[in-house]
Amino acid sequence: MGKRILVPVDGSEQAHRAFEFVAEEFGDAEVVLLHVVNPAEAGYSAQASIPSFSEEWYESEKAAAEELFSEIEALADGTDLSIEREIEVGKPIRVIVEFADESGVDQIVMGSHGRSGVTRILLGSVAEAVVRRSPVPVTVVR
């Protein structure tokens, strides 16, 4: 039986590369694509204080995640990968580590970074924090 591998995805080129790496190296794996919806990204605008806005924002984020999953799954054509989709809400580092701990994955494969420039410096490296806190081995794809 193949491995169960967690691949956090955020729409970045690095996340796509991480999935491609899994497809090449672990062609018979069970892959869990995880997209974390970060509520901090909703912002603090006047619009965010309207009760229906947060629900609309979340639904929009879920729809975007489903499109992302479909795009990534298309990269699996010709493989025997079994793919599962998961959407969680919270801070990405915490959610990724907790999901890995609670869902029985054998490994995490993730992109080196999903952000660039100032936001990467200010927010720190999600990949680095996951490597430090993960209960399972982590492969970081550049």
Domain residue extents for the chain: 4-140
* 89 DSSP β-pair partners: 37
Phi, psi of 99 (to 5 degrees): -60, -45
Task: Give tens-digit pLDDT for 52-108.
Answer: 667 888 899 999 999 999 999 999 988 999 999 999 999 999 999 999 999 999 999
pLDDT at 54: 79
Task: Give tens-digit pLDDT for 17-28.
Answer: 999 999 999 989
Tokens of 120: 């990467």
Q: Which helix or strand (DSSP H or E) is residue 110 part of?
A: strand 107-111
Residue bearing tokens 């959610």: 95
What class does CATH assign to 4-140? alpha beta
Residues 6 or more apart whose CB falls under 8 angstroms from that of 64 comprise 11
Q: Which helix or strand (DSSP H or E) is residue 102 part of?
A: helix 92-102
Q: What is the pTM of this model?
A: 0.87
pLDDT at 30: 97
Task: Give tens-digit pLDDT for 115-124.
Answer: 555 555 544 4
pLDDT at 1: 52
Distance CA 48, CA 24 (A): 42
Whether 35 and 136 have beta carbons less than 8 Å apart is answered as no
Distance CA 22, CA 75 (A): 11
CA-to-CA dists, residue 58 to 10, 62, 69, angstroms? 15, 6, 16
pLDDT at 120: 53
